[in-house]
Amino acid sequence: MDMVIEAEKPKLKPYFLPRRQNIAEVLDIRVDQVGLKGKTSEGARYRGGSEAIAVHAVVLVEIQSP
């Protein structure tokens, strides 16, 4: 799983490890299988300026036969 969180503020880096741990627990995967990055929209107003947060996620799902 790989996610990008796009926000002007607050700074999200201090929250990355706890979020990765929570996501890994919910999905029953290892923490190192959860990628999380943060970026800003560099003031782009189409995203709502400093009040908006956008999240983009990509998940690869593999179904295992019993």
The pTM of the whole model exceeds 0.75: no
CATH code linked to domain 2-58: 3.30.1330.50
* Ranges of each domain in the chain: 2-58
36, β-bridge pairs: 3
Dump pLDDT digits (tens) for 10-50.
Answer: 788 888 999 999 999 998 999 999 999 988 877 555 555 66
Give CA–CA dist 60/2, Å, rounded.
Answer: 9
Q: Tokens at residue 31, please?
A: 């923490």
Q: How many whole angstroms separate alpha carbon 31 and alpha carbon 36?
A: 10
